[in-house]
Amino acid sequence: MLLVLSFGGLPFTGGALAKAATKGQLDEGLVGLLAALSAAGTTMPMLHFTARLRATVTAENAAAAVLPWPLMLPWVGMSVAAVALPWALFPGAFPDAFSVSALFGATWPVLLGAMLEHDRSFWIDLVL
């Protein structure tokens, strides 16, 4: 889930660092709002993919779906890298990335995308 939410710009991940790096170019107006909504839009299909992947695991194959530790190690490594590596490569590059306003600005699009994905059937029924 950490890797999935990193695409939406979850704080303290590489996605948040990329979002902080482009924020100056995107401005605070309409373009900035559209960029934030784009992060919400990215979160939705990534969470949908995760839910579909989880749905493929049934009670019968749940035991087989648990990977042995040596096979889990690359995923754990990628998850750690998704959080630590971008910040290690650019230490102190974005000192205001940890301010309350920056954390809120990075969190609300991910939460909006998660809320919209959770209520996806409601929105589909509303449109159709």
Tens digit of pLDDT for each residue in 64-97?
Answer: 666 677 878 888 888 888 777 877 887 776 677 6
Q: Is 2 exposed, middle or buried (0-12, 13-18, 19+ CB in 10 A)?
A: middle
* Whole-number Å distance between alpha carbons of 43 and 110: 6
Distance CA 96, CA 107 (A): 15
pLDDT in tens, 108-128: 888 888 888 877 765 555 555
Residue 58 has a pLDDT of: 67
Q: Where are the domains of the chain?
A: 2-127
Q: How far apart are CA 64 and CA 32, in angstroms?
A: 45
The confidence band for 62, taking pLDDT boundaries of 50, 70 and 90, is: low
Which 3 state secondary structure label does DSSP give 28?
Answer: coil
